[in-house]
Amino acid sequence: MTKPTFTIDLRSDTVTRPTAKMRGCMHKAVTGDDVFAEDPEINELQKRCAEMFGMEDGLFCPSGTMTNQIAIAVHTSPGEEVICDKLSHIYNYEGGGIARLSGASVRLLHGDLGRFTASDVRSNVNPLDSHYAKTSLVSLEDTCNKGGGSIWDLSELREVSKVSRELGLAVHLDGARLWNALVARGIHNDAKALHAYGANFDSISLCLSKGLGCPVGSVLVGSKSFIAQAHRARKVFGGGMRQAGIVAAAGIYALENNIDRLEVDHARAKRLGEAALHHPSVISHYPIDTNIVILELQKGVDADALSAEWGRNGIECFQFGPSSIRFVTHLENTDDQIDGACHYLSNI
Ligand SMILES: *Cc1c(COP(=O)(O)O)cnc(C)c1O
């Protein structure tokens, strides 16, 4: 076999490594003991993330799994129930943490690519009767990873939040790729729109290590009293860090430099999706709202074997299900690599 003339890593947007400029900021970090809230970079990062969404306070954590699980632990008590979509990361990909760490049960909704409606929430809240688990939290995901980077319709999202609150439920957002969703809506530089968006939630989890290109880190934002409780949960979960300003400095750099450019990832994802439709093994793709492309394959095509074949031809990607393959675009991709991948997919 001839060696491919290009290689592109489309496995995930978590594969990005810190750039020289980002490393420069990390190098200059002052740092301090964050368990004592004395790390200036962490304090600054938490403040910026909170203010962006009109929240009072923030908490820097090692991972998005931890920020989600801390939020669930604070919003629920053992034996209570969390409402979320069946595609949600908190349910599928966090090691059963809802049951294990919070002792809570889950009510799964069957939404549209991860998005559900206010009436879904209304009809899945348990009655206030001691036979039932007490429903206490609704969790949304914007963008929804397993939904192919799908974004919510803002009016539906507002309605879900309003109805959930009327029912006495807390509302959490898994915003691992929230900046992708905001860029797709064109509101990422509109402070008022961001505050209005944040007002729908009691807590938001934000990942810096996905599209924003940081080596590690997530931030949880919410009210002062919520974050005070989250601080205790973070300690219990073993996530209290010391001079982690070295990584928070990467986060501040990313907020300033890597949000606007997400639209490039989105345009590239669309190009890849269109090119892949020319491939004889591809039937269709999910709607491409952001930086994730999910390709559905012809009957009988083995997704694992096809993704391995594409890998040998320079396109590194994963199977997403038995008959689908996922691409995720990110800041290490170049135009030449995208051209190469589109050419390969559409001329096979
Ligand atoms: C990646 C991701 C997370 C968090 O993952 P970590 O690897 O723990 O940082 C949470 N939610 C969604 C939707 C994700 O894609």
Mind listing the pLDDT tens digit for each residue in 56-82? 999 999 999 999 999 999 999 999 999
pTM equals: 0.97
Cα–Cα distance list, 50 to 15, 68, 213 (Å): 26, 16, 20
Length of the chain: 348
- Whether residue 281 lies inside any domain: the answer is yes
Distance 4 CA to ligand 1 centre (A): 31
For the chain, percent of residues with pLDDT exceeding 70: 99
Which atom of ligand 1 is least distant from the CA of 65? 8
Judgement on whether residues 42 and 138 belong to the same structural domain of the protein? yes
* Residues 25-41 pLDDT 10s: 999 999 999 989 999 99
104, 215, 94, 186: which is closest to 145 by C-alpha? 94
- Whether residue 324 lies inside any domain: the answer is yes
* Rounded distance between C-alpha atoms, residue 272 and residue 239, angstroms: 38
Q: Which residue has the tokens 């490594």?
A: 17
- Whether residue 26 lies inside any domain: the answer is no
Judgement on whether residues 248 and 268 belong to the same structural domain of the protein? no
Q: What is the pLDDT of residue 1?
A: 57
Judgement on whether residues 204 and 293 belong to the same structural domain of the protein? no
97 in ligand 1 pocket by Cβ < 6 Å?
Answer: no
175 in ligand 1 pocket by Cβ < 6 Å?
Answer: no
Exposure class string for 261-295: b at 16+ Cβ within 10 A, else e: ebbbbbebbbbbbebbeebebbeebbebbbbbbbb
User: Could you tell me the two tokens for 243?
Assistant: 């001079």
150 in ligand 1 pocket by Cβ < 6 Å?
Answer: no
List the residue whose alpha carbon is closest to atom 2 of ligand 1: 176
Judgement on whether residues 213 and 285 belong to the same structural domain of the protein? no
- Whether residue 23 lies inside any domain: the answer is no
Judgement on whether residues 132 and 155 belong to the same structural domain of the protein? yes
CATH number for the domain spanning 305: value is 3.90.1150.10
Task: Name which of 2-11, 134-143, 330-339 the model is least confident about.
Answer: 2-11
67, 3, 27: which is closest to 253 by C-alpha? 27
Distance 205 CA to ligand 1 centre (A): 9
180 in ligand 1 pocket by Cβ < 6 Å?
Answer: no
Residue 20, H or E segment: helix 20-28
* Residues 313-337 pLDDT 10s: 999 999 999 999 999 999 999 999 9
* Rounded distance between C-alpha atoms, residue 217 and residue 66, angstroms: 10
Which atom of ligand 1 is least distant from the CA of 209? 9
Residues 6+ apart with CB under 8 A from 343: 275
Range of the domain at 200: 31-257
Question: Between 64-75 and 224-236, two packed helices, what is the crossing angle to 10 degrees?
Answer: 110
Number of domains in the chain: 2
Distance 44 CA to ligand 1 centre (A): 23
Judgement on whether residues 242 and 277 belong to the same structural domain of the protein? no
List the residue whose alpha carbon is closest to atom 14 of ligand 1: 176
181, 176, 251: which is closest to 214 by C-alpha? 251
* Residues 185-239 pLDDT 10s: 999 999 999 999 999 999 999 999 999 999 999 999 999 999 999 999 999 999 9
- Whether residue 274 lies inside any domain: the answer is yes
Pocket probe for ligand 1: among 61, 90, 93, the residue whose CB has the most ligand atoms within 8 Å is 93
- Whether residue 316 lies inside any domain: the answer is yes
Q: Is the dihedral of CA 13, 15, 19, 25 positive or negative?
A: positive
